[in-house]
Amino acid sequence: MPTSREGHEPDHHPTTTILHRGGGAGDASAGDSGAPPTRQVWVPGPVIVGAGPSGLATAACLKARGVPSLVLEKDPCVAASWRHRTYERLRLHLPRCFCELPLAPFPPGTPPYPTRDQFVAYLDGYARAFGIEPRLGARVRSAAYDAAIGFWRVTVDEDDAEGGGAAATTTEFVSRWLVVATGENAEPAWPEGVEGMDGYRGVAMHTSSYKKGDEFRGKNVLVVGCGNSGMEVSLDLCNNGARASMVVRDKLHVLPREILGISTFGLSVFLLRWLPIKRVDSLLLFFSRLILGDTEKYGLPRPKIGPFQVKSSTGKTPVLDIGALRKIKCGEIKVVPAINRFTGNNGVEFTDGHREDFDAVIFATGYKSNVPSWLKEEEFFSHADGFPRKPFPHSWRGKNGLYAAGFTRKGLMGTSYDAVRIAGDIADQWTEAFASPTAAHRSSDHGA
Ligand SMILES: Cc1cc2nc3c(=O)[nH]c(=O)nc-3n(C[C@H](O)[C@H](O)[C@H](O)COP(=O)(O)OP(=O)(O)OC[C@H]3O[C@@H](n4cnc5c(N)ncnc54)[C@H](O)[C@@H]3O)c2cc1C
């Protein structure tokens, strides 16, 4: 059955070839569930799932090595999570030199900590500069390796090009290489099993939907979570005239964003080259105490081990303070213990027994990977958390041409590391394939 996109295919994606149209009960490509694909498309280069920084960086590095790729993106734009799931005043947590993607620095004049909009503009420009045209509105429903043919079958639901809303077309892309770039933060994570939460009648939202604080002016707001997002949202609420309380359940390290005018993160990376992690942690804690004071006094107890030891053992990032601590010290942001249960229409009871009504509760409870929901593979990716089983620096390459970009727990620096390595690995196979058409098949079979 011809589809509404049929005539445009070669213009948008010259790397794809339509193999088959029609589908049906007997179609070998019908996938594991749902409707059979309307058509199959062979992709000579890799299929990259996700057009965030990791997908774009991988596509750019591949292009620089002469390898075309097909980028599939469920949203109607690139950098969707930055555009839609962050709030207006957000700035990158790390200085821009740690957030640049490979092969393209930020434009001159970009401040040391770019704003969300500046970062989105950088990503738009990045995609343009490398001629990356993702297939937008293309949600990967499933991807599975077909050992019989040695290719990945990637089943995609695409929005109606005319804006019909519901998924209009199902396509199966067939490729030798699959790059998973759907992000560590694909879906909001909500707390589970909190008594009475369903009965709460105030505004309940995740930080991914938080846009700006002025809609909460004069309101009593509870922020659940005290990582970077929780702190930043509490500060933004406070700056916009809301009364913010922040739940601090676990011990955490708060560090100044800069020490002696140098980015704390940059300084740490430099010091870690010369000193053992414990010494670096001691120095950071010494300066933090000097600059921020004793955070424990304000209800923010520190873990027994230092910030980088915590990071390397649990993946938990220290909070870089951008002003919330000052508000906590003067009581403008109230620190409260963990929630015991929700009570009545708007009430929250805490573990210390006190109870308070809140107009809104904002969950800064993090995000999770969505890989287990669509990737039919469990050797390389764990289905428990949707991350590669092996940690950085071994998290980028699996077997049978499967790759992971941006699952290092190291932010955009990890993204760059992955993109360069993935592109190099695929480009070697690609070159070999041109030299001998059967060779790439062999070389794509080696694992990490
Ligand atoms: C609030 C916030 C601030 C951060 N600040 C920094 C910082 O300052 N510095 C830093 O280094 N890191 C930072 N990070 C961490 C990380 O670098 C970013 O989250 C970054 O966006 C990760 O890029 P990504 O491409 O891996 O994932 P994403 O940006 O999440 O991109 C994944 C893409 O995949 C698409 N997708 C998902 N599922 C499917 C599917 N089934 N089919 C098709 N497409 C799909 C999504 O729509 C999305 O466009 C921050 C993270 C958050 C949440």
User: What are the residue ranges spanned by the domains of the chain?
Assistant: 17-186+369-446, 190-366
Per-residue pLDDT reduced to its tens digit, 185-201: 999 999 988 999 999 99
Is the beta carbon of 444 within 6 A of some atom in ligand 1?
no
Distance CA 349, CA 4 (A): 55
Length of the chain: 448
Is the beta carbon of 309 within 6 A of some atom in ligand 1?
no
Going by pLDDT thresholds of 50, 70 and 90, the confidence category of residue 440 is very low
Closest atom, ligand 1, to C-alpha of 367: 53
Across 330-354, average pLDDT: 96
Are domains 17-186+369-446 and 190-366 of this chain identical in fold? yes
Amino acid 168: pLDDT: 81
Is the beta carbon of 412 within 6 A of some atom in ligand 1?
yes
Q: Supply the DSSP string of 229-286, one letter for each residue.
A: HHHHHHHHHHHTT-EEEEE--S---EEESEETTEEHHHHHHHHHTTS-HHHHHHHHHH
Amino acid 312: pLDDT: 82
Going by pLDDT thresholds of 50, 70 and 90, the confidence category of residue 311 is confident
Distance CA 166, CA 3 (A): 15
Across 10-18, average pLDDT: 47
Across 45-69, average pLDDT: 98
Going by pLDDT thresholds of 50, 70 and 90, the confidence category of residue 72 is very high
| Mean pLDDT for the chain overall | 88
Going by pLDDT thresholds of 50, 70 and 90, the confidence category of residue 36 is low
DSSP H or E run through 222: strand 220-224
Amino acid 167: pLDDT: 56
Domain 190-366: CATH architecture, name and number where available: 3-Layer(bba) Sandwich (3.50)
Residue 12 scores a pLDDT above 60? no
Q: Which CATH superfamily is domain 17-186+369-446 in?
A: FAD/NAD(P)-binding domain (3.50.50.60)
Is the beta carbon of 157 within 6 A of some atom in ligand 1?
no
Per-residue pLDDT reduced to its tens digit, 42-55: 999 999 999 999 99
Q: Whose CA is closest to 136, among 110, 104, 160, 105? A: 160
Closest atom, ligand 1, to C-alpha of 412: 11
Across 140-162, average pLDDT: 91
Residue 93 scores a pLDDT above 90? no
Closest atom, ligand 1, to C-alpha of 373: 41
Distance CA 40, CA 235 (A): 50
If you measure from the C-alpha of residue 338 to the centroid of ligand 1, how many angstroms do you get, rounded to a whole number?
A: 28
Give the residue with greater pLDDT, 448 vs 67.
67
Rg, Å, the chain Cα set: 24
% the chain with pLDDT above 70 = 87
Residue 75 scores a pLDDT above 60? yes
Determine phi and psi for 114, rounding to 5 degrees: -60, 150
Is the beta carbon of 74 within 6 A of some atom in ligand 1?
yes
Residue 96 scores a pLDDT above 80? yes
203 DSSP β-pair partners: 360
Alpha helices in 1-84 (DSSP H): 9-12, 53-64, 80-84
Per-residue pLDDT reduced to its tens digit, 205-264: 999 999 889 999 999 999 999 999 999 999 999 999 999 999 999 999 999 999 988 999
Amino acid 398: pLDDT: 98
Residue 151 scores a pLDDT above 60? yes
The residue whose CA has the least distance to atom 50 of ligand 1 is 411
If you measure from the C-alpha of residue 262 to the centroid of ligand 1, how many angstroms do you get, rounded to a whole number?
A: 26
